[in-house]
Chain A
Amino acid sequence: MSGSVPMKAKHQRMALVIVALIAIVAAGLIATWALRNQANYFYLPEQIAAEPPAVGQAVRLGGMVQPGSLETEADGVTVAFVVTGNEASSVPVRYSGILPDLFVEGSGVVAEGSLQADGTFLATNLLAKHDENYVPKELEGLEGHRAADSVAETTVGLD
């Protein structure tokens, strides 16, 4: 080291800040990577099918409202529909209450509730999931905006 030019204090500080930044960002990324599964806001139907939660345990189920599956029962406030994930996996859902404005067949939904003994999901609250498309009413359908595609795009692990 005796022959080398001593590092300027400014450059030393710059190197220190860069090393510190790399360490901080790496730590942050590793932490969020570890949270990858825990920080998901909801489970997909196939995750419910693979590892069914205990009957009565509060969970959130997210997916697409299967087109043609939405039915209103005789009492007028209870609705039944099927939430689908990838191809085969689907969970029947029942819910009594006010539906969010964006809740339509073929769009995304997050249901809060629990799995019943008969395999249906009894929802206590429904949230509509909006996709990233903003389309004026007049153009609806013209450009082939398909909600079914956008649900897959907006949900991790749903291809």
Chain B
Amino acid sequence: MHIYANPKRFLSLAKWLTPLFLWSGILVTALSIGWGLTQVPPDRLMGESVRILFVHVPSAWLGMGGWTGIAIASAALLIWKHPLASVAARAIALPGMVFTAICLATGSIWGRPTWGTWWVWDGRLTSMLVLLFLYAGYIALSQATAREGGAPKIAAIFGLVGAVNIPIINRSVVWWNSLHQPPSITAGKSAIDSVFLVPLFVAVLGFTLLFAAIVLMRMRALIAEQQVEARLRRRALDDDMPVATSRLENA
């Protein structure tokens, strides 16, 4: 379990996983988007606008999955003091926020022709907007504690508390009357015809690979940043040292 806790071992693994995820992600995403835009028939009621499905749904899942990842990393940091946990959580936060924003933007564009409105304050839309704000708060808090040398614990506690929003987003269309439709895909059954469902799953796979590649890149960058800082600090110490030692020699 703690094999990959070692940053050095993680870096050697990430070095070849990053290009693998990145290029396969670009390929699969391009394939699924091309498929969704050109090969899929229009929907019975929504017509051509059904094609937004292939960007909207993967983004929504990754936005929620991103915070789930932050919560797991936060728990790992608090319980096992896993050295990579805070780096992983910080790396996830930005792509998670971007995908949440993509989900909200595409949903709004989709809502105009189908529902007749850009935005309503129903349970699903509001809880998803709250997730976007939680990401913004998490990024600000974790960067502030990392830069000021504060305890990463504070951001980890925020990551755990914010996780309460994830089941609320998931259940918002089941508990409350909302304009957004209830889940089409639930355990074991789907209300989406297979001509839409198969390219949707390909899109989810492609987006997830891209997400993983971005997280690995950001983790490597954050680790490199920490190493640079540690080296600068050491050099600053070394620069002070000769004065002290020469004084000792003269004495």
Min CB gap A77→B, angstroms? 15
Given A133-B184, A136-B42, A127-B123 contact (CB < 8 Å): no
A123-143 interface mask toward B, CB cutoff 8 Å, 1 = contact, 0 = none? 001111111111111111000
A132 engages B182 (CB within 8 Å): yes
Q: Which single member of B42, B53, B79, B120 contacts A41 (CB below 8 Å)? A: B120
Given A130-B181, A134-B43, A153-B182, A100-B116 contact (CB < 8 Å): yes
Determine the distance from Cα of A128 to Cα of B178 in the docked complex, in whole angstroms.
Answer: 11
Min CB gap A156→B, angstroms? 5
Q: Which of B102-144 contact A (CB under 8 A)?
A: 113-117, 120-123
Of the A-B pairs whose beta carbons lie under 8 Å apart in the complex, a sample of 26, sorted by A's number, is A13-B78, A14-B79, A17-B78, A24-B163, A27-B164, A28-B168, A39-B175, A40-B176, A42-B177, A44-B177, A100-B114, A101-B47, A102-B46, A102-B116, A125-B117, A127-B120, A128-B114, A130-B114, A130-B181, A134-B43, A134-B193, A135-B43, A135-B44, A136-B43, A154-B182, A156-B175
B160 engages A24 (CB within 8 Å): yes
B164 engages A28 (CB within 8 Å): yes
Q: How large is the interface on A (under 10, 10 to 19, 20 to 34, 35 or more residues)?
A: 35 or more
Given A10-B79, A133-B184, A136-B41, A155-B115 contact (CB < 8 Å): no
Total of A-B residue pairs, C-beta within 8 Å: 136
Min CB gap A54→B, angstroms? 21
Given A21-B160, A128-B115, A134-B53, A110-B179 contact (CB < 8 Å): yes
A132 engages B191 (CB within 8 Å): yes
List B contacts of A20 (CB < 8 A).
Answer: 160
Determine the distance from Cα of A62 to Cα of B115 in the docked complex, in whole angstroms.
Answer: 13
Given A13-B79, A20-B160, A41-B179 contact (CB < 8 Å): yes
Given A24-B160, A39-B176, A132-B115 contact (CB < 8 Å): no
List B contacts of A153 (CB < 8 A).
Answer: 182
A131 engages B177 (CB within 8 Å): no
List B contacts of A135 (CB < 8 A).
Answer: 43-44, 193
B43 engages A137 (CB within 8 Å): yes
Determine the distance from Cα of A100 to Cα of B41 in the docked complex, in whole angstroms.
Answer: 21
Could you tell me which A residues sit within 8 Å of B by CB distance? 10, 13-14, 16-17, 20-21, 24-25, 27-29, 32, 35-36, 39-42, 44, 62, 99-104, 107, 110, 125-140, 145, 153-157
List A contacts of B47 (CB < 8 A).
Answer: 101
The 6 closest A-B pairs by CB, nearest first: A100-B116, A28-B164, A136-B41, A41-B122, A132-B184, A134-B192
Could you tell me which B residues sit within 8 Å of A by CB distance? 40-47, 50, 53, 75, 78-80, 113-117, 120-123, 160-161, 163-165, 167-168, 171, 174-179, 181-184, 191-193, 195-197
List A contacts of B50 (CB < 8 A).
Answer: 134
B179 engages A129 (CB within 8 Å): yes
Determine the distance from Cα of A115 to Cα of B74 in the docked complex, in whole angstroms.
Answer: 51
B175 engages A130 (CB within 8 Å): no
A41 engages B177 (CB within 8 Å): yes
List A contacts of B182 (CB < 8 A).
Answer: 132, 153-154
B175 engages A36 (CB within 8 Å): yes
List A contacts of B121 (CB < 8 A).
Answer: 41
Determine the distance from Cα of A153 to Cα of B173 in the docked complex, in whole angstroms.
Answer: 11
Determine the distance from Cα of A110 to Cα of B105 in the docked complex, in whole angstroms.
Answer: 22
> Knowing that A40-B176, A153-B182 are A-B contacts, what are 10 other residue pairs whose CB atoms are under 8 Å apart, sorted by A's residue number?
A21-B163, A25-B164, A39-B123, A40-B177, A101-B116, A104-B45, A126-B116, A130-B115, A130-B181, A156-B174
B193 engages A136 (CB within 8 Å): yes
Q: Which single member of B45, B53, B79, B192 contacts A102 (CB below 8 Å)? A: B45
Please indicate which of the listed interface residues B121, B193, B195 has the most CB atoms of chain A within 10 Å of its own CB: B193
Determine the distance from Cα of A48 to Cα of B42 in the docked complex, in whole angstroms.
Answer: 37
